[in-house]
Amino acid sequence: MNLTTERARVEYDAAVGAIGDLVFHVRDVGYDVVVDKITLPVQGLARAASGADLETRLKSLDGVMSVSANVANELIAVEIIPNLVTYNDLKNVIRAAGYDVLEVSGAEEEFVDREKVARAREMLREKRDLLIGIAFTIPLFALAMARDLLHSVLLRHDILPQLFEWKYFDWMLLALALPVQFYVGRAYHRGAWKSLRARAPNMDLLISLGTNAAFWYSAIVLIAAQFQFFIGEHVYFETAAVIITLIKLGKYLEARAKGQTSEAIKKLMNLRAKTARVMRDGAELEIKASDVRVGDIIIARPGEKIPVDGVVLDGASAVDESMITGESVPVEKHIASKVIGGTLNTSGALKIEARKVGKETALAQIIRLVEDAQMSKAPVQKLADQISAIFVPVVVVIALATFALWSVFGPLPQFTFAFVNFVAVLIIACPCALGLATPTAIMVGTGKGAEMGVLIRSGGALETTHKIDTIILDKTGTLTRGKPVVTDTITNYQLPITNEQMTNEKFLTLVASAEKRS
Q: Just list the catalytic residues.
A: 474
The CB-side HSE value for 410 (13 A sphere, CA atoms) comes to 18
Classified as helix, coil or strand, 75 is strand
**Adjacency order of strands within the sheet including 36-43:** 64-70, 75-80, 36-43, 100-101
**Mind giving me the DSSP string for 407-420?**
HHHSPSSHHHHHHH
* Cα angle: 215, vertex 217, 218; to 5 degrees: 65
Alpha-carbon distance 203 to 188, whole Å? 9
Are 256 and 197 within 8 A, CB to CB? no
The residue type at 428:
I
Question: What is d(CA 329, CA 511) in angstroms, rounded to the nearest whole number?
Answer: 26
Radius of gyration of the chain (CA): 33
> Strand 75-80 relative to strand 275-280: parallel, antiparallel, unpaired?
unpaired
Handedness of CA 282, 284, 286, 292 (dihedral sign): positive
Q: What are phi and psi of 350, to 5 degrees?
A: -125, 140
Segment holding 279, helix H or strand E:
strand 275-280
| DSSP state at residue 7 | B
Query: 184 burial class (0-12, 13-18, 19+ CB within 10 angstroms)?
Result: buried
Contact status, residue 212 vs residue 427, Cβ threshold 8 Å: no
| CA pair distance 217, 337, nearest whole angstrom | 75
- Spatial distance between the Cα atoms of 271 and 84, rounded to a whole number of angstroms: 22
Length of the chain: 518
| Alpha-carbon 284 to chain mean position | 40
